[in-house]
């Protein structure tokens, strides 16, 4: 807004200056030049009159004075036309006294000329020549002097106009430099303000991002702790209770008579208790695989992947490469959860019947890759569900990266890459 206001103000200033310059050139310079041309025309006519009067005073001239009547009439008409044009062009450059003096002097001169020719026509050429010598030449010189002064005034006016034009150009140039400097200062100040504001915003964003990461870590830790607690409660408490109920039902059934309805009912209840116990153990493993704490990530995946294949009907191809190393428990939990969410997405959203799972150990990293050949998704329409957000958060918690991209043969590829220093239990 500041820069725009400065540009508009300067544009208005330049417009006013150029309009004034154009007016000065058109109304003063051009008009003054045309006026000078008419004054030169008048001066030329006066010079022609002076030459004619010199010839008229020459006693060796064979022609009478009346012979110059036609020449004087022609000069008179041209002089009147030039004076009329000059009066229109002079405008404010002439004072009222100057105009009246010039008009009166011209009128008196032609009156004297008419009297001189009247004397000549009456045969009084000597008196006529005397009038030329005493009156007409003096009047002609006075008119020539007046016209010369007007020409000098016009020249001075042109010089003043040129000075004003130069002053306007200098002022515009000076204002241009001032405008450029002010604009540069405004841009610098605005840039500094924007840099400062952006730094504050980025610092705030970094702080919020750090707080978000801390919150995500605490939420995930709380979630895992809660799931671990519920899993152990299901496995230990409910599992033990259901196991005890099954044992008691078995013992009670042994005391019942063979083929009696009571023994059949006890056996049926015992089967229901055993089925419930199996479901509780399966739910316990789904919430938090105890096997992960006891046997590690590799064994857990060896158990989990076939189990998911049976439950979902997916054909899962699992491959391990590289030299295995023990995975730290917390990192193993996050890897396990990422695999859970990835297979859940394959089952629910991909429409594929197969998936390929790869676990790669290397000297620098541990990689988990899950790929399907389902319908996939466009990069700009990547889903933003809570599951993907949790996957990324878990990857960040172990210092890793999560990449989700279209597969080479269609579908989707999920790749989790973790530095070995963060995953290796021996190095952690």
* Candidate from 13-27, 60-74, 192-206 with smallest mean pLDDT: 13-27
Domain map (residue ranges) of the chain: 2-189, 290-423
Which long-range contacts link 281-284 to residues 24+ away (Cβ below 8 Å)? 281/234, 281/235, 281/239, 283/234, 284/231, 284/232, 284/234, 284/235, 284/239
Q: Of 89-103, 383-397, 414-428, give the range with the top mean pLDDT.
A: 414-428
Q: Does domain 2-189 have CATH number 1.20.1330?
A: yes
Contact 277, 239 (CB under 8 A): yes
In whole numbers, what is the pLDDT of the chain averaged over residues? 82
More confident call, 106 vs 62: 106
The mean pLDDT of 337-360, rounded to a whole number, is: 89
pTM over 0.75: no
CATH assignment, 290-423 = 3.30.565.10
Is the pLDDT reported for residue 380 higher than 70?
no
| % residues pLDDT > 90 (the chain) | 14
Whether residue 200 has pLDDT greater than 90: yes
pLDDT at 217: 73
With 50 as the cut, is the pLDDT of residue 231 above it? yes
pLDDT at residue 316, as a whole number: 92
Greater pLDDT, 210 or 377:
210
């Amino acid at each position: 807004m500041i820069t725009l206001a400065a540009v508009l103000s300067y544009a208005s200033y330049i417009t006013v200056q150029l309009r004034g310059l154009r007016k000065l050139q058109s109304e003063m310079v051009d008009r003054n030049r045309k006026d000078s041309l008419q004054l030169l025309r008048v001066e030329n006519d006066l010079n022609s009159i002076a030459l004619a009067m010199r010839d008229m005073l020459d006693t060796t001239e064979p022609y009478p004075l009346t012979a110059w009547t036609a020449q004087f009439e022609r000069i008179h008409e041209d002089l009147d036309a030039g004076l009329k044009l000059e009066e229109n062009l002079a405008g404010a450059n002439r004072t009222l006294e100057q105009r009246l003096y010039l008009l009166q002097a011209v009128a008196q001169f032609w009156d004297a000329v008419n009297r001189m020719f009247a004397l000549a026509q009456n045969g009084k050429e000597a008196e006529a020549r005397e009038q030329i010598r005493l009156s007409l030449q003096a009047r002609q010189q006075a008119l020539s002097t007046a016209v010369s002064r007007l020409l000098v005034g016009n020249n001075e006016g042109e010089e003043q106009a040129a000075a004003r034009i130069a002053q306007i150009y200098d002022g515009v140039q000076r204002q241009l430099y001032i405008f450029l400097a002010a604009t540069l200062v405004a841009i610098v100040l605005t840039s500094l303000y924007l840099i400062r504001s952006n730094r504050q915003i980025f610092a705030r964003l970094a702080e919020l991002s750090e707080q978000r990461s801390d919150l995500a870590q605490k939420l995930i830790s709380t979630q895992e702790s809660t799931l671990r607690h519920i899993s152990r409660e299901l496995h230990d408490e409910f599992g033990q209770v259901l196991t005890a109920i099954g044992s008691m039902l078995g013992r009670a059934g042994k005391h019942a008579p063979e083929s009696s309805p009571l023994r059949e009912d006890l056996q049926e209840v015992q089967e229901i208790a055993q089925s419930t116990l199996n479901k509780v153990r399966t739910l316990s493993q789904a919430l938090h695989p105890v096997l992960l704490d006891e046997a590690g990530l590799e064994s857990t995946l060896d158990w989990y992947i076939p189990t998911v294949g049976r439950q979902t009907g997916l054909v899962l191809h699992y491959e391990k490469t590289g030299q295995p190393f023990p995975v730290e428990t917390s990192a193993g939990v996050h890897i396990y959860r990422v695999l859970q969410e990835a297979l859940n997405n394959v089952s629910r959203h991909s429409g594929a019947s197969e998936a390929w799972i790869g676990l790669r150990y290397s000297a620098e990293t541990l990689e988990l890759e899950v790929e399907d050949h389902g319908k996939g998704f466009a990069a700009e329409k990547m889903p933003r569900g809570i599951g993907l957000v949790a996957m990324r958060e878990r990857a960040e918690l172990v210092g890793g990266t999560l990449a989700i991209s279209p597969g080479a043969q269609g579908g989707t590829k999920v790749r989790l890459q973790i530095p070995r220093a963060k995953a290796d239990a021996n190095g952690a």
